[in-house]
Amino acid sequence: MPRYFIELAYNGSNYHGWQIQPGTPTVQEELNRALSILLREDINVVGAGRTDTGVHASFYVAHFDIADPLTGLEQIVYKLNRITGKAIAIYDIYIVESGMHARFSALSRTYKYYIDKQKDPFTCDYAWKVYPLPDIGKMNEACRILFEYTDFTSFSKLHTDVKTNDCILYEAYWEDTGKQLVFTIKANRFLRNMVRAVVGTLLEIGQGKMNTTELRQIIESKNRCNAGTSVPGNALFLYNIEYPENIRDLKNKS
C-alpha cells in the first residue's frame, strides 16, 4: 500500500493533545475524520509523537497508508484544509518509501517554550507570564548541565510505557527576544511531560529558588517528585521534526 507523509500545524488550545482518547477531541481523531471523508476510505494516521493537552505544533508530521496511489495532491491539501477548519493547517502531502515512519524515522524533534516579559494581549494565549522574571544567565548555565546526562527520568511523567528514559540532547538554551524569553530544546526523543518539567525546573533556578548543584541532584535521583512543577502547556510548541534528507525522493520521482 502506498504510504504518504502529511505535514501540518495545529493550535492545540481546544484539543486534548494529539493522540486519540475516548470522549475528548484530539488532533489525530480530527485528521482521521477529515482524511476519511475526503478520500472515501477509512484512514488512520500515525503521528510523529504525542503532544499534551493544550500544546501546539507549528510543525508536525504524520503518515497514512491508502489502497491506491493518490493524484492531485495539491488539490487534496486544499480540500483537506476546508474540512479541518481553522485550528489545523495542512501544508503538504507526499509519497514516501513504505518503510518510512513518521515517529520511528524521525532523527530529532525541537520544542520551544515562550515566556512573556510583560503583559501582552496578543501573545498571552500562547505564552506564560511569570513573576519575578528569571535570570536568563543562570538558566543557560543550568542548560549546559543537562548535556552531561542522558537519563531524564526525573522529568518524565510517571507510569509511562516506554522502554528507556534515555534521550540525547542536541540543543538547550534560552534567548531574550526583547518582549519574550524563549527556550529551545532539541533531542532525538522526549519523554512524556519532559519539556514542561525541564522548563519548570529551569525557571526555579532562574528565580533563585534552586541552584545548579541541586539540578544535578534532581537528575541523578531519577525521581519526578524532586524536579520543578510542570509549566502550562499553552506556551509550548513542537517547532520542528527532522528526517533523513532523502525522505522526499519518491516525491521528486513522481
Element (H, E) at 236: strand 236-242
Q: For the beta carbon of residue 64, count every other beta carbon within 10 angstroms.
A: 22
Task: List, in sequence order, the alpha helices (H) in 23-100.
Answer: 27-39, 73-84
Which residue, 56, 38, 59, 39, is CA-closest to 48? 59
Instruction: Name the residue with cell 511569570.
Output: 130
Chain center to CA of 170: 15
Write phi, then psi, for 181 (nearest 5 degrees). -105, 130
CB 71, CB 95: distance < 8 Å: no
Beta bridge pairs of residue 93: 6
Q: What is the 3-state secondary structure (H, E, C) of 126-141?
A: HCEECCCCCCHHHHHH
Residues annotated as catalytic are 52
What amino acid occupies position 230? S
Q: Quote helix, strand, coil % in the chain, to nearest 5.
A: 35, 25, 40
